[in-house]
Amino acid sequence: MASRLIESLASTEALAELFSDHSILRALLQFEVALATVESRLGVIPTSAAQSIAASANPDAFDTAELSRKSLRAGTPSIPFVKALMERVRSTNKSAADFVHWGATSQDVSDTALILLLKQSESLIDADLARCEKALRALSERHRDTMMLGRTLLQAAPPTTFGLKAAGWLGAVRRGRERLAHAFAEALVIQFGGAVGTLAMLGDKGSIVARELATELKLAYPDAPWHTHRDRLGALICVCGVLTGSLGKIARDVSLLMQTEVGEASEPAGEGRGGSSTMPHKRNPIGCAMTTAAATRVPGMVASYLTAMAQEHERSVGGSQSEWPTVAAVIQATGLAAASVAEITEGLTVDTARMRRNLDETRGIVFAEKVMTLLSGKLDREKAHQLLEVAARKVVDEKRTLAEVLAGMSEIRDLLDKADLQQLAEAEDYLGSAESFRVDSLRVASSASPKS
């Protein structure tokens, strides 16, 4: 993995490599070569200069450690990077060195390099979200009739189906994926404005060069340079925050279902995955842990980005400098969450028997609401509620079923048929519109595909 050990729990291997020094340097060079190519094509700089710049753009020839040290002094990686590129060009074509970075400013190259990296990250994240969707759809269909306890405030509640729960997860992932696709489409625009966003150095060819540069880099062309207008990136970062929250919700649910005393589902296991350094029997929810950790970190980073958006005039003091590490960390955390949930859902083991047993072990107490419905019109609502509270306590204290307790309570027994009491524990009769909601959720999730 390209990241440091301390960052090993903060990214996937692919995204760590994408935001590695070598990859960032390659993106910076891509901008400079494309700029020189376009300017030579339009007659702004000599063709020979563009050729020399392209020939010097080998990322392996740059000392990234030295660039890092100089970046801290310069306040931006762009300044020492451009100087290093000029030196390389000068070593083979002295006159061509003057045309390196022609008409651009430091933020042009750094912002556009970041956008180029984001463009590559989109497909990586989307591929894992597509895996999530496919796996969740399959889980929902497979478990359309799998009964389980609903849980509110971590307490047993009336039954639902695991198929509906998986469909709910699917809907959140699909909505997040659609938002992300839209946010990327809006954010992937070139940055090229020169010193103050006018490209004055290029005279009347500024906008022409900018359009051609966008085409060369396969990026969208904005209405104007956006040095201190960070709303497009801000929207992308916020969408990542919402998406990781949705993925974190799935991880939270699965980890709770994996608790020993619940035991209704479990992550896929594998070599080096989910074990404990001291307790050999454990099968820990590692994918859930990685996802939850990402969902915990990202909101603070979203706030950090939004705080930096109030940038002054045409170029800011500290605003743009704060963004590179924040954006990189948010994208990597989002990608890690997506990859982790994809692995979880693709290999999730569902214990349907345990789900039913946990439901049955409530002794029917979760059907107190059902009894309220049966008593409607026969007994005052408040009185019925009070009687059922008493019945519920007896179920717990006396280890009897709700039907047995109610059969012994004259205030209720005389109002309900014996058949009604016998059917209390039939969970299938108290699912309401669960299947309809599940089907509709899957239908809506199929109606729009951001990357079909």
User: What CA–CA distance (Å, rounded) separates 198 from 170?
Assistant: 46
Q: 418: closest CA among 431, 429, 407?
A: 407
Q: Is residue 171 a contact partner of residue 444, using CB atoms and an 8 Å limit?
A: yes
User: What CA–CA distance (Å, rounded) separates 403 from 418?
Assistant: 9
User: What CA–CA distance (Å, rounded) separates 419 from 376?
Assistant: 17
Angle in degrees, CA 221, 227, 229, rounded to 5? 85
Q: 308: closest CA among 223, 415, 395, 233?
A: 233
Instruction: Please say if 175 is a catalytic residue.
Output: no
Instruction: Please say if 276 is a catalytic residue.
Output: yes
Amino acid found at 188: L
Q: Strand, helix or coil at 275?
A: coil
Residue with tokens 């990214």: 11
Q: Is residue 229 a contact partner of residue 308, using CB atoms and an 8 Å limit?
A: no
Query: In 10 A of CB 128, how many CB atoms?
Result: 23
Bridge-partner residues for 151, per DSSP? 156
User: What CA–CA distance (Å, rounded) separates 42 from 36?
Assistant: 10
Choosing from 315, 354, 356, 400, the catalytic residue is 315
Choosing from 48, 207, 276, 446, the catalytic residue is 276
DSSP tag of 46: -
- Type and span of the H or E element at 233: helix 231-257
Q: Strand, helix or coil at 397?
A: helix
* Active site residues per annotation: 276, 315
